[in-house]
């Protein structure tokens, strides 16, 4: 059986190791962080994430979906908070059972690593930082940070599951004709907390993703099982009102008082959180190909980091694992072909998701407050009911089905053209009829 070395045991690394372990491959998984069981969780990254159908399907393939979902909180829709504190609830789907699920990054990460460790042929090495990759061997150079010893990991293939700033991808960037681009949003993000009420309960509706849309920026909050909410402020790095210009406690307090007055009383540690929590950046990475012959492949954010506004980065990374596993099973004797198939099945979908995610930022921060947007959502749900199986809103296709992202985007575009086209034709006909009636009545 081939021997795989995986670099990075974030959300997708543990899952990929579990898939490979299940097929009987020899797997060594190297992670620069300490063992999350020792309480060392992903600092500076989102504490909770929205897990939806694609991610759940991947977990089901490994038989760990039920166990993971026990820690999840279903969110049925968006709870919009306007500046006066008024609330408006917009369900995600006409079927109230279709939810996205708030799940802790740490719990999920631990579950996938444990799933991998159930296979005796999978070994996980924490405190191992990859410093470089020799693509042709293929071999990874690692530093064991607990002993300061250098280690070389050789095998048949390396899989880079080492996130948006992948060291494995960096080695591939030196290859002739390797495509690479990265682009940052002008916005950064900062995490803040709404703690539980004194009796341990949630201080806002728990089965919703809360949004405070403020046109050019927004804050969101997802519930945690302990009764708290993790809030994320997405705000411009620079500009007259921005992270750059809002530094002192008084400035932060004034900004939150003006923009999120209903949230401030729920955030007793606001000033401390704002001061101490890092401001993260939001990057989109596109590259290709995602493999080097039969020796190296990229999975998850290492291949396609997207901004978080569709809540799909991790779901897409999990879907990568499913597809790569399928390709390796389909072409067991030709790994180069399996890698190439994996790339060709995923690339256009990753690109489509990158566009959808940027577009959804504008929708969440700006359009969710408009009555035209709410009317469109109601029309979406109405049409879905009247035309079951024929009309599916884009959000539902992305979050509640496994229709490939690119196909979902194309289908939504076609649907919009037909619906808006029909609306324009009907309005024109009604207007023409009204004119005829008016003229003939004179």
Ligand X SMILES: Cc1cc2nc3c(=O)[nH]c(=O)nc-3n(C[C@H](O)[C@H](O)[C@H](O)COP(=O)(O)OP(=O)(O)OC[C@H]3O[C@@H](n4cnc5c(N)ncnc54)[C@H](O)[C@@H]3O)c2cc1C
- The site for ligand X (CB under 6 A) is made up of 7-13, 30-33, 45-46, 49-50, 129-130, 161-163, 167, 189, 232, 280, 300-302, 308, 311-315, 317
Q: How far is the CB of 104 from ligand X (least distance, A)?
A: 11
Q: Mark out the alpha helices in 260-404 (DSSP H runs).
A: 270-276, 301-304, 313-330, 335-365, 371-386, 394-400
Tell me if 350 sits within 8 A of 299, measured CB to CB.
no
- CB nearer ligand X, residue 193 or residue 415: 193
Q: How far is the CB of 323 from ligand X (least distance, A)?
A: 14
- CB nearer ligand X, residue 72 or residue 384: 72
How far is the C-alpha of 440 from the C-alpha of 8, rounded, in Å?
76
How far is the C-alpha of 318 from the C-alpha of 19, rounded, in Å?
11
Strand partners, 189: 234, 280
Which DSSP category does 34 fall into?
Answer: P
Q: How far is the CB of 92 from ligand X (least distance, A)?
A: 13
Give the number of residues written for the chain. Answer: 442
- CB nearer ligand X, residue 86 or residue 276: 276
- CB nearer ligand X, residue 82 or residue 134: 134
SS3 143: strand
Nearest residue (beta carbon) to ligand X: 10
Q: How far is the CB of 93 from ligand X (least distance, A)?
A: 17
- CB nearer ligand X, residue 32 or residue 415: 32
- CB nearer ligand X, residue 353 or residue 412: 353
Q: How far is the CB of 387 from ligand X (least distance, A)?
A: 29
Q: How far is the CB of 100 from ligand X (least distance, A)?
A: 8
| Bridge pairing between strands 157-160 and 179-194 | unpaired
Q: What is the DSSP string of 175-233?
A: STT-EEEEEEEEEEEEEEEEPPPTTS--SS-SSEEEEEE-SS-EEEEEE-TTS-EEEEE
Of residues 73, 6, 48, 96, the one with CA closest to residue 400: 96
- CB nearer ligand X, residue 21 or residue 308: 308
Instruction: Write phi, then psi, for 131 (nearest 5 degrees).
Output: -110, -15
96 contacts: CB under 8 Å, gap ≥ 6? 76
Q: How far is the CB of 14 from ligand X (least distance, A)?
A: 8
- CB nearer ligand X, residue 267 or residue 307: 307
How far is the C-alpha of 313 from the C-alpha of 9, rounded, in Å?
15
Cis check for the bond before 138: say yes or no (omega within 30 of 0). Answer: yes
Q: How far is the CB of 334 from ligand X (least distance, A)?
A: 25
């Amino acid at each position: 059986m081939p021997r795989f070395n995986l670099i990075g045991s974030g959300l997708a690394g543990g899952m990929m190791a579990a898939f490979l372990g299940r097929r009987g491959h020899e797997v060594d998984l190297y992670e620069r962080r300490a063992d999350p069981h020792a309480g060392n969780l992903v600092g500076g990254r989102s504490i909770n994430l929205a897990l939806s159908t694609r991610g759940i399907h991947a977990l089901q393939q490994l038989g760990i979906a039920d166990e993971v979902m026990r820690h999840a909180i279903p969110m049925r829709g968006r709870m919009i908070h306007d500046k006066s504190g008024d609330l408006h609830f917009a369900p995600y789907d006409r079927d109230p059972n279709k939810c996205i699920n708030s799940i802790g990054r740490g719990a999920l990460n631990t579950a996938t690593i444990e799933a991998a460790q159930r296979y005796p042929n999978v070994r996980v090495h924490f405190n191992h930082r990859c410093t470089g990759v020799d693509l042709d061997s293929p071999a990874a150079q690692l530093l064991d940070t607990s002993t300061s010893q250098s280690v070389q990991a050789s095998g048949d293939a390396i899989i880079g599951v080492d996130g948006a700033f992948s060291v494995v991808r960096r080695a591939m960037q030196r290859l002739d004709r390797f495509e690479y681009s990265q682009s940052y949003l002008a916005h950064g993000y900062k995490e803040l907390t709404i703690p539980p009420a004194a009796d341990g309960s949630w201080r806002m509706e728990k089965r919703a993703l809360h949004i405070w849309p403020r046109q050019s920026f927004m804050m969101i909050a997802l519930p945690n099982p302990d009764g708290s909410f993790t809030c994320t402020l997405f705000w411009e790095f620079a500009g007259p009102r921005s992270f750059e210009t809002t530094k002192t406690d008084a400035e932060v307090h004034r900004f939150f008082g003006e923009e999120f007055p209903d949230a401030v009383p729920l955030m007793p540690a606001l000033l401390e959180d704002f001061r101490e929590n890092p401001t993260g950046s939001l990057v989109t990475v596109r590259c290709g190909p995602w493999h080097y012959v039969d020796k190296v492949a990229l999975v998850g954010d290492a291949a396609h980091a997207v901004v978080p506004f569709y809540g799909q980065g991790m779901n897409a990374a999990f879907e990568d694992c499913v597809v790569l596993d399928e390709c390796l099973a389909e072409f067991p004797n030709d790994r180069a072909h399996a890698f190439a198939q994996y790339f060709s099945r995923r690339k256009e979908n990753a690109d489509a998701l990158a566009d959808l995610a940027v577009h959804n930022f504008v929708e969440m921060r700006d359009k969710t407050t408009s009555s035209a947007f709410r009317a469109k959502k109601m029309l979406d749900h109405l049409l879905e009911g009247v035309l079951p199986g024929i009309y599916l809103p884009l959000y539902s296709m992305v979050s509640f089905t496994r229709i490939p992202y690119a196909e979902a985007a194309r289908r939504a575009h076609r649907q919009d053209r037909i619906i808006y086209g029909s609306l324009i034709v009907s309005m024109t006909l009604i207007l023409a009829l009204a004119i005829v009636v008016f003229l003939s009545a004179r």
